[in-house]
Structure 1
Amino acid sequence: MLSDRAFDAAHLWHPYAGMTTPGPVHEVAEAEGVWLTLRDGTRMIDAMSSWWCAAHGHRHPALVAAMTAQLQRLPHVMFGGLTHGPAIDLGRKLLALLPEGLNRIFYADSGSVAVEVALKMALQAQVARGHPGRTRFASVRGGYHGDTWKAMSLCDPETGMHGHFGSALAPQIFVPAPPVRFGDAWPEDPERNGLAAVADLFGRQHDQIAAFILEPVVQGAGGMRFYHPAYLRGLRDLCDQHGILLILDEIATGFGRTGRMFAMEHAAVVPDILCLGKALTGGMMSFAATIATTAVAQAISTGSPGVLMHGPTFMANPLACAAAAASLDLLAMGEWPAQVAAIETQLSAALAPARALPGVADVRILGAIGVIEMRQPLDAPHVHAHARHSGVFLRPFGRLLYTMPPYITTPDELSLITQTMLEIAGWHQ
C-alpha cells in the first residue's frame, strides 16, 4: 500500500500542477488561528489566509459553533422552490453592508461561478433592453477573474491562461491596466490617467459590449497591482454614458482586506453587479454571491425568458449561509478596521528595507496586503521548502512575494512573516 504522501503524489492533482513531476506539499493535520500544524508537528503561520479567505483565522469558535448548529438542523436543501432561514438571515446582513441599490442577491458555489453569473446577468439584461448585439465583455489588462471558462477569457490576455487554450476561448476586449498607482496624484488628463483608452473603446464598440468587469483598486492574482480609485469614478461615468453595465469583482478585496469593507468604497462607486466570495464564509467553505441592482434584475425578469438562466445544485447551501452570517457578525463587531490598519502600518515599516535590495523592483502595501515584487521570478520550490524552517507559509507566483495575513495576526506573528519575506527577497539578487 502506498504511503499517504506517495498516494497524494500519484493520484491527487493540486492547483496549477502536473502529475508527472508534482511539486512538494506540506501535509496539514490541524489549523487554528493563524497557525497550520503539519502531520509531523511542525507549525507554520498561514501568511496567505489560505488564498485570502480565512480573514478571521482558522477554526474561529463562532464560525464553528454556527456551522455545528446548522449541521444538526439542515445541512442542505435545494433552493429551487424552497427557501430557508440561513439564506434570508445572510441576505439581510449583506444588504446592511452594501450601498443602496445593490439589493438582488444570487448565491453561488465559488467566486469563479459568481463571475459567470454576473456575465450572464449582464448579457440577459442587455438583450432584454433591446440590445441583442451586446454580447462581448471588456476589461483591463492585469486582471484575474477565476478559472472557469468565460471568467478565464477575461483574465489578463498575456499573463493569464488565454494562450494555453488558443482559439477555444472567445476573445474579449481589453484596455491597458489603470496606469496611476494608489496614493499617487491623479492627473485629470484622460491620456495620462488611462480613461482616454476606455472612452475611445466605448466610442467605437459600445454597441457590442454588454459590461465592463474589473477588480476595484487591487488587481489580485493578475499582478497584485494597486491603482487609483479615481479610475473607477471615471469608468462609472463612461459606462453610464454608453449604456454599458459595470461589474466589480470584489471576491479577493471584499470584507475589509483593503482597509474598507469593500474596495469600491475607496472610490464611492456603486456597480450594476457585484461579485463576492473568498472571505464571505471566513474561509470555512466555498461560497459566493452575485448581487445586482433592481434595474438589472427587473430587465432580466421582464425580458425573455423572464428568469435568470442559472441554478447551482448547492445554491444557498444552508451550512455555507450559516458560516457567512456568522462571519459577517464578527465583522459587525468592529474590530477589523483597527486590526487591518495596524497590519498596514507594520507591513509598511517592516518591508521598507526590501526597497534597498538589488533584486527588488517594488514594494507596495494596502490594508492587510503586503507585496515585494522581484526583478526576476522567484524560485517557488525553494520558498516552499523554506516554510518549515521559517515557520511561515508563503506561496509566491512569478516575481511576486506577498502576504495577506488573517486580521487576527499579532505583531509578533506579523514580524515573523515580514522577516521571512525579507530573507527570501535577499536570496534572489
Structure 2
Amino acid sequence: MGEHPHWYTEGVSHIWLPYTQMKTATPPLPVKATDGVRITLSDGRELIDGISSWWAAAHGYNHPHIMQAMKAQLEVMPHVMFGGMVNEPALRLSKRLADMLPGDLNRVFIAESGSVSVEVAMKMALQYFFNRGEKRSKFVHFRGTYHGDTLGTMAVCDPEEGMHGLFGDVLAKNLLTDLPRTRQDAEKFAAFLKKNAADVAAVITEPLVQGAGGMVFHQAETLRWLREACDAADVLLIVDEIFTGFYRTGTRFATDQAGIVPDMVTLSKALSGGVSPLSACVARAEIFEAFYDDDPSKALMHGPTYMAHALGCAAANASLDLFEQDDYAAKVHAIEGQLMAELAPCGFAGNVKSVRVKGAIGVVQLDDARELEALKPKFVERGVWIRPFRDIVYLTPPLVIDKDDLSVLTGAIRDVLGA
C-alpha cells in the first residue's frame, strides 16, 4: 500500500461515518473510481463489490446508458422545484412505476431517500384515517425488521435489533409482534390485528427478506396472510420494497411472488441504479382519493426540497430501461443457483450456524459474531468488498456480475471462514 492521497489525509479527520464507533473503527478505504462490479482504491488495488453499495448498484457502476441519460439531463435541467411545477423525467417515471406495479398502485410521491419514502407512507396512512374522521395513531411492525434511521422509521424497526435500542423510550409506541410463518400464526395475527384495529393505521413489513435486521427470509404465504388480515380489520398494508424491489429476490418486486396489492409500496436503492439519491412512495387510488377534496386541510402537507429532482428521475428512467431491456429474472436465477452451490460448503465451517440463499442474496450466519470485525480486512486482502454485520457474512452482488467474479466472492467467504 502506498501513501494515502492528500484529500484523504486532510479530510478524514472531519467526517462522521455511518454505523461506526469512530474511536475504535478500522480507517475507511479511500476509493478513487468505480466501474462495472469493481471498486478501485487510491493505491490502485481493485475490489470486486459483493454488496452493490448497500444493494443499490444493481446494474454495476458507471453503466453507460445511465451515465448518458444523466449527462443529457444535466445539460438541460438538473433540478427545479416540484411545488407548482413538474418536469418530464419525474412524470415519465411516475407513469412507468404505476404501469409496472400491480392493481391500482398509481399515485407516486417521489422523494430523495428510502427512509423518507417510508416516513411519507406512514404519514399518508395516518392522514388517510384522519381525513375519514378516525384518529388512528399506531402501526403494527415485526421483530427483525428495519425501515430506516429517521425518528418515524426507527419507531417501526425492531427495538431489540440493536442500532436503535438506545432510543426506545423516546420513540412513538407502536405494536410489535412476530411475522406469521404458519397458518396458525396467521390466525393469531388476524385476531390480534382485529382486536387493535381501532387504533392501528397500517401494518408495515419488508417482503420475503428482513434485510438489515439480519437477512431473515420468509415465504410468500406470509404476505398473503398479512393482506387478508388487513382487509378483514380495515387496516392499511405498507410494503417496504426498498431492498427487495427490482429483482433482488428473483422477481421484479417481492410482492409479485405473493400476488398481492399493498396499499402503499416504498422503493429506492436500485430504482436509480445506485447513482443518485431517489425514492418513491406509491399509493393506491383509494388512498389518494381520501386526500382529494375541496378542503385544503385534507391535502398531504409534505414536500422535500429535492423532491422529484429531474437528474435523479432521469437516472431512474434509464435504470428502468435496463430492467426492461434485459432478462434480469434470468440473471438472478443464475446467481441464486451459483450462490447455493458455492456457499453450501461454508456450512461445514466450525463457527457457521446456517447458510441460506434467496434470489441474489447469499447469507452465511455465524454462531459467534465477535470475530466479524477481524474478518473485514481479510476480505480486502483477497480483493473483494464484503462488509459483514451483526452475525452474518452476506453477498448482494450487482445483478450483472459474471460467474467468474461471483466465484471470487464466494471463494473468499469460504477461504476466510474456513481459515
Using structure 2 for the length normalisation, give the TM-score.
0.96
SS of equivalent residue, structure 1 residue 174: strand
Mapped to 2, the partners of 1:163 and 1:54 lie a distance apart of 30
Q: How far off its partner does 1:309 sit?
A: 1.6
Conserved in 2, the CA contact under 8 Å of 1:378 and 1:398? no
The answer for unaligned runs of 5 or more in structure 2 is none
Match of 2:36 in 1: 33
CA distance in 1, matches of 2:24, 2:10: 14
Q: Does 2:287 match 1:307?
A: no
Is the Cα–Cα contact under 8 Å of residues 9 and 19 in structure 1 kept in the other structure?
A: no
Greater CA drift, 58-67 or 15-24: 15-24
Q: Which amino acid aligns with 2:278?
A: F
Whole-Å separation in 2 of the counterparts to 1:402 and 1:245? 32
Q: Which amino acid aligns with 2:116?
A: V
Report the CA distance between 1:281 and its aligned residue. Answer: 0.3
Q: Secondary structure of 2:355's partner? A: strand
Matched, 1:236 2:227: yes
Tell whether the 8 Å contact from 1:24 to 1:381 is kept in structure 2 after alignment: no
Separation (CA, whole Å) in 1 of partners of 2:296 and 2:229? 28
2:309 aligns with 317
| CA deviation string 1:258-292 (max 9, x = no partner) | 00000001110110000000100000011000000
Higher deviation after alignment, 329-338 or 405-414: 329-338
Correspondence for 1:13: 16
Deviation sequence 1:109-154 (CA, Å, 0-9, x none): 100000000000000001112211x111111111000001110111
**Distance in 1 between residues matched to 2:357 and 2:387, nearest whole Å:** 17
Q: Determine the structure 1 residue equivalent to 2:89.
A: 86
Preserved CA contact (<8 Å) 2:379 2:416? no
State how far apart, in whole Å, the 2-side matches of 1:253 and 1:6 are. Answer: 37
**Cα drift, residue 48 of structure 1:** 0.4
Q: Tell me, yes or no, if the aligned pair for 1:17 and 1:23 is still in contact at 8 Å.
A: no
Superposed counterparts of 1:251-266, under 5 Å: 251-266=242-257
1:273-319 Cα deviation digits (max 9, x unpaired): 00000100000011000000010011123376121121000000000
The alpha-carbon deviation at position 389 of structure 1 amounts to 1.5
Give the counterpart of 2:125 among 91, 101, 122. Answer: 122
Q: State how many pairs are aligned.
A: 414
Q: Greater CA deviation, 141-150 or 11-20?
A: 11-20
Task: Write the distance in 2 (CA, Å) between the matches of 1:75 and 1:338.
Answer: 34
Question: Contact 1:371–1:402 at 8 Å: present in 2 too?
Answer: yes
Residue matched to 1:408: 400
Give the aligned partner of residue 183 of structure 1. Answer: none
The question of 1:135 aligning with 2:127 is answered: no
Pair 1:304–1:125, CA change in 2 (3 A)? farther
Q: Is the 8 A contact 2:388 2:394 kept in 1?
A: yes
Mapped partners of 1:149, 1:286: distance in 2: 20
Distance 1:172 1:11 in 2: 37
Q: Which residue of 1 aligns with 2:204?
A: 213
Deviations 1:310-339 (A, max 9, x none): 100000000000000000000001321111
1: distance between equivalents of 2:88 and 2:339? Answer: 41
User: What is the rounded CA distance, in whole Å, between the counterparts of 1:386 and 1:94 in structure 2?
Assistant: 41
- Distance (whole Å) between structure 1 residues aligned to residue 27 and residue 390 of structure 2: 17
User: Residue type of the partner of 2:177?
Assistant: V
1:413 aligned counterpart, secondary structure? helix
* Structure 1 residue 167 corresponds to structure 2 residue 158: no
| Match of residue 98, structure 2, among 95, 100, 107 | 95
Distance 2:326 2:200 in 1: 40
Q: Is the 8 A contact 1:35 1:43 kept in 2?
A: yes
Matches within 5 A, 1:190-229: 190=184, 194-229=185-220
CA contact (8 A) 2:179 2:222 kept: no
Gap change, CA 1:268 and 1:212, over 3 Å in 2: same
CA RMSD of aligned residues (A): 1.5
Amino acid at match of 2:193: F
Paired amino acid for 2:86: T
Q: CA deviation at 1:378?
A: 5.1
TM-score of the superposed pair, with normalisation by structure 1: 0.93
The Cα of 1:8 is off from its aligned counterpart by 4.1
Question: Whole-Å Cα distance in 1 between the matches of residues 284 and 162 of structure 2?
Answer: 30
Mapped partners of 1:287, 1:87: distance in 2: 11
What amino acid sits opposite 1:96 in the alignment?
D
Which residue does the alignment assign to 1:277?
268
d(CA) in 1 for partners of 2:265, 2:325: 24
How far residue 160 of structure 1 moved from its aligned partner, in angstroms, is: 3.8
Does structure 2 retain, via aligned residues, the 8 Å contact 1:340–1:367? yes
1: CA distance, partners of 2:158 / 2:216: 13
Distance 1:311 1:211 in 2: 22
The AA in structure 2 aligned to 1:408 is V
Cα distance in structure 2, aligned partners of 1:337 and 1:217: 16
Amino acid of the structure 2 residue aligned with 1:165 = F
Structure 1 residue runs of 5 or longer lacking an equivalent are 181-186
